[in-house]
Amino acid sequence: MEKLEYDVVIVGGGPGGSSTALFLTKSGVKKVLLVDKARFPRDKICGDAFSGKSMGIARELGIVNDFDKVPHEAVYGVLFSSPKGTMLEIPFPGTEKGKATKPGFCVRRLNGDNVIFQNAKKAVDTIEEFTVSDMIWEDGYAAGIIGRKKDGTEIEVRAKMVVGADGTSSVIAQKTGQGASRPEHQVIATRGYYKGVTGMTGNIELHFIDEVMPGYFWIFPLEDGWANVGLGILTSEKQKRKMDLKKLQEDVIANHAVFRERFKGAKIDGQGIKVWTLPLGSARRKNHGNGWLLVGDAASLIDPFSGEGVGNAMTSGKFAAKHISRALREGDFSEENLKAYDTELWETIGPEINTSYNLQKLGKHKWLLNMVMDKAATKPNVRQAISGMLSNEEAKKNLISPLGLIKLILT
């Protein structure tokens, strides 16, 4: 067995793990190893929307311009449709189509994650095609990890800190006692790449159609006329209704009055429709302990309304790096000392996750969605108010209070 020794070992090179590595380097930590069971570029089932929040962290890391070198598509707003079919286009504030500034974009994770990983690879040691299967413990402290390379070589990595950035089915979350999310705090979703969908508008599209409610059907624009198409619903609802999501997506595309027209000449690529789960931030995990931290999906941080998780994965990587470098300086890797990571992370993302959890519950009421979207479709000031709410946390609260909604409808 090969034996290695580092200050920090990060399991998983997705946006969470690679951001942790890059922020650690920025704060002067040198002995860092980043491992992943895949070889990059690798695919990740996703909607491929890289939001303003993700862009903000990429900008902080100095890597945002690298995304211009890979295929991507700028997005300028959100197109919603209500259960009764009202369409509502809400531009992101300060956006004009065709202008160079783009508040967000869609980039296949195959390409986008590779941008972040390759930057991390320049900064820290990495091992790809290395699957971690267990953790090493000493005196109640995490002391490293054990895994196997694709060629069969077993490797033991000893480290002062272990970071679990290994996604939805995280081995590190399991080994540190954080079980999988309950079905009511998990979304199950599909993804297919289609070429030739008509009627694209430069927006990401969220359609609250009857067939998928209380979830939604999405169409996100990609490069060269491709689109990322999927639908998602709470796992608890899927189980209750015994839904077959792949079949549902095929049915919507073949039979829905609007989408059968838009998909008439469209073709899905050879991968077909794939399915994956999203662990939501509405269930709060303990993300720290003696000698270990969790980030990203391993920490269950996905927005319960939008399904966005890349931004929070990168944000948690930033805070994890901050508290790991502090713990290294202090020589204190205790649960007590690392608690500050969880506290700072949740003080930052907690209010937004709570708001989104309330919006998710509100989204179950068809009549309410119909009413708000009907009103917004005819009143520019209501559209403007919603646009502001999409980018402003305080304002978003109006959307989840009955009084705020009544005000909006009566405006």
Ligand X SMILES: Cc1cc2nc3c(=O)[nH]c(=O)nc-3n(C[C@H](O)[C@H](O)[C@H](O)COP(=O)(O)OP(=O)(O)OC[C@H]3O[C@@H](n4cnc5c(N)ncnc54)[C@H](O)[C@@H]3O)c2cc1C
Q: Under the rule (CB under 6 A), what is the footprint of ligand X?
A: 11-17, 35-38, 42, 44-49, 51, 131-132, 165-167, 171, 189, 191, 230, 276, 278, 296-298, 302, 307-311, 313
Pairing assessment for the beta strands 154-164 and 2-11 based on DSSP bridges: parallel
CB 387 → ligand X: shortest distance, Å? Answer: 20
Cα–chain center distance at 182: 18
Task: List all residues 6 or more positions away from 1 whose beta carbon is below 8 Å from its beta carbon.
Answer: 154, 155, 156
CA distance 110 to 195: 17
Contact 6, 157 (CB under 8 A): yes
**Judged by CB, which is closer to ligand X: 157, or 313?**
313
**Judged by CB, which is closer to ligand X: 233, or 382?**
233
**Judged by CB, which is closer to ligand X: 83, or 192?**
192
**Judged by CB, which is closer to ligand X: 14, or 144?**
14
CB 322 → ligand X: shortest distance, Å? Answer: 17
Contact 373, 82 (CB under 8 A): yes
**Judged by CB, which is closer to ligand X: 233, or 372?**
233
User: For residue 359, what are its two tokens?
Assistant: 């919006």
- Using left for φ > 0, alpha for ψ between -120 and 50, and beta otherwise, residue 162 falls in beta
Give the DSSP per-residue string, 345-373: HHHHHHHHHHHHHHHHHHTT-HHHHHHHH
CB 373 → ligand X: shortest distance, Å? Answer: 22
**Judged by CB, which is closer to ligand X: 166, or 237?**
166
User: For residue 9, what are its two tokens?
Assistant: 């070992």
CB 15 → ligand X: shortest distance, Å? Answer: 4
CB 219 → ligand X: shortest distance, Å? Answer: 12
CA distances to 3, 34, 196, 282 from 261, rounded to whole Å, are 59, 46, 11, 37
DSSP single-letter state for residue 169: T
CB 401 → ligand X: shortest distance, Å? Answer: 26
